[in-house]
Structure 1
Amino acid sequence: MFDRLRKAFSPSSGSAARPVTNKEVARWAASQQLAIVPSATEGHFDLGGDVGGHPWRLECGAPTRDYVRGLELRGRADVGADPDAAVMVLNRSLHEALEGSAYNAITDTLQTTVNTNLPEEMRWLAMYEEMTWPGLPASFRQHFAVIAERIEVAQRWIHAPVVSQLLNFLEGEHSAARAQSPLVLMLVRGKVYLRMEHTERSLPEIEHATQMLLIGAQAAMQNLPPMSVAGPDDLPNLER
């Protein structure tokens, strides 16, 4: 089922720059006052800290998704956001590939319900719709898809800082490769999750991943606190 995904996201044959070493990652983490767990395997690491008093973690290791090649950067921030909020942002190329695979997985087995064995990202594509709204920049809609259960929740989380950080990731000399490299940012179960391919094996890529996770976490804490704190009246009325 994932053969097409593997081909779509296979690495280019061009020569790559020297991968960042674990020592370089450790020095950078120390300069940022981040905790890091050393690993004997080059390219693997586990670092973390806190954001607004809530713990977060970013690790790099073997991929846990078939659409990721090489190493995978995956992060989680336990920010205690509204547990009912469900929003996913993924880059456009991954959205198209997963959408096709999700459709094939269901039709090939003549299923009428979503297979719980599918990755969560694919189940969401079967359950929820892509959301868009007038304030979302055209450049963002070109490169990313927002999948959510409720548009008002998506609007509260995907605001200017999150949009800017995701678009900033596509800038620079590796912009074309980054646009095709799998990336998923999710808000679900009160936590923010990040999953992306460590394509460049560079320190700037790790820095971008860290910033995406932290900015997503800050946006969730500020704009989608638990309902017991925010209250239902704090949700925007789109008809006003």
Structure 2
Amino acid sequence: MTRANAARWRPIQEWAEARGAEFNQSGDGQGFLIEHPKALPGPLRIEWGVSQRSYLPGSELRMRCEMGLNRDLQLMVLCRALMENLERAVFEAYTDTLKTRVDTDTPEEMRWLVMFPKFNNAASQIVRQRFGVVGVTKELTGAWIDGELSEALAQASQDLLPEGHPFVLMSMRGNLYLRTEMSEPDLPKVQALVRLLECAAREAHRVSGRLSDDGAWPTTTSVAWTPSTRPGDVA
């Protein structure tokens, strides 16, 4: 199986190595990891394998672009259908009178839907219809989503991210993160998602420059919860 997967993933390996990245299969041979420390706009890590999120069934592609942004720059865009599903899950989990807060075991993706305001005024009608957008302030969220990233998302919605396909893109802890369901790794799709992540990273870098060292909001946001990271997670 390991050899068969290696042959199937050969185009992705060749693409990664042509970019100066290192390609490795996971220990069980059921997934792979690409490390590109000299990537632009920031060091890039790409993983494909068994999903680490319950809302992404089966296998997922997950990526991290290290940017060194202001750590308070917390922004997220996700598939609208997924946003609605996660909102229902949060509501059901925390309407119990014995659980009055969102605990540390809940992923940021779900906590942020409770914590941060939604941005519903994206300039692109397609973006408004197909994606949900939240962030620490509406002003920063709007500055991030409108422009180059809006165009990239609208284009991706046509084929790369069809309606209802689970997808999350986040700026947090100074980095950009992307997760999406992917049953089988496909080079053109991986390349397109990398370009989308890089676009979001460039736009986040531009927006990050608007923040002062002291931040723009109270520190009672996700700083109140220390994020946990499982071994092998891109986070």
Paired residue for 2:22?
A: 35
Residues 185, 195 of structure 1: 8 Å contact kept: yes
Candidates 104, 113, 118, aligned match of 2:106: 118
Instruction: Give me the whole-angstrom Cα distance separating, in 1, the residues matched to 2:164 and 2:52.
Output: 18
Summarize the Cα distance change of 1:197–1:83 in structure 2 as closer, same or farther, 3 Å threshold: same
Instruction: Give me the whole-angstrom Cα distance separating, in 2, the residues matched to 1:48 and 1:163.
Output: 27
Worse-superposed segment, 141-150 or 218-227: 218-227
Instruction: Give me the whole-angstrom Cα distance separating, in 2, the residues matched to 1:227 and 1:139.
Output: 29
Residues 113, 134 of structure 2: 8 Å contact kept: yes
Instruction: Give me the whole-angstrom Cα distance separating, in 2, the residues matched to 1:41 and 1:214.
Output: 29
Q: After superposition, where does 1:76-225 map in structure 2 within 5 Å?
A: 76-108=64-96, 110-133=98-121, 136-172=123-159, 178-199=162-183, 201-225=185-209
Secondary structure at 2:93's aligned position in 1?
Answer: helix
Instruction: Give me the whole-angstrom Cα distance separating, in 1, the residues matched to 2:23 and 2:98.
Output: 47
What 5-or-longer segments of structure 2 have no aligned partner? 1-6, 217-235
Instruction: Give me the whole-angstrom Cα distance separating, in 2, the residues matched to 1:52 and 1:27.
Output: 19
TM-score (norm 2): 0.78
TM-score (norm 1): 0.77
Runs of 4+ in 1 over 4 A off after TM superposition: 39-43, 226-229
Residues 48, 57 of structure 1: 8 Å contact kept: yes
Summarize the Cα distance change of 1:40–1:27 in structure 2 as closer, same or farther, 3 Å threshold: farther
Summarize the Cα distance change of 1:203–1:163 in structure 2 as closer, same or farther, 3 Å threshold: same
Identity %: 32
Summarize the Cα distance change of 1:91–1:157 in structure 2 as closer, same or farther, 3 Å threshold: same
Residues 80, 226 of structure 1: 8 Å contact kept: no
Task: Quote the offset at 1:82 in angstroms.
Answer: 1.7
Residues 69, 205 of structure 2: 8 Å contact kept: yes
Task: Quote the offset at 1:77 in angstroms.
Answer: 1.3
Instruction: Give me the whole-angstrom Cα distance separating, in 1, the residues matched to 2:22 and 2:97.
Output: 46
Summarize the Cα distance change of 1:48–1:215 in structure 2 as closer, same or farther, 3 Å threshold: farther
Instruction: Give me the whole-angstrom Cα distance separating, in 2, the residues matched to 1:218 and 1:147.
Output: 18
Residues 55, 78 of structure 1: 8 Å contact kept: yes
Residues 44, 65 of structure 2: 8 Å contact kept: yes
What 5-or-longer segments of structure 1 have no aligned partner? 1-19, 233-240
Q: Does 1:73 align with 2:61?
A: yes
Q: CA RMSD in A?
A: 2.6
Task: Quote the offset at 1:104 in angstroms.
Answer: 0.2
Task: Quote the offset at 1:196 in angstroms.
Answer: 0.8
Residues 184, 195 of structure 1: 8 Å contact kept: yes
Letter in 1 for 2:106: L
Residues 41, 202 of structure 2: 8 Å contact kept: no
Q: Does 1:60 align with 2:44?
A: no
Paired residue for 2:9?
A: 22
Instruction: Give me the whole-angstrom Cα distance separating, in 2, the residues matched to 1:22 and 1:215.
Output: 25
Task: Quote the offset at 1:70 in angstroms.
Answer: 1.8
Task: Quote the offset at 1:30 in angstroms.
Answer: 2.9
Summarize the Cα distance change of 1:96–1:228 in structure 2 as closer, same or farther, 3 Å threshold: closer
**CA deviation map 1:72-102 (0-9, x unaligned):** 1111111011211111110101001000000
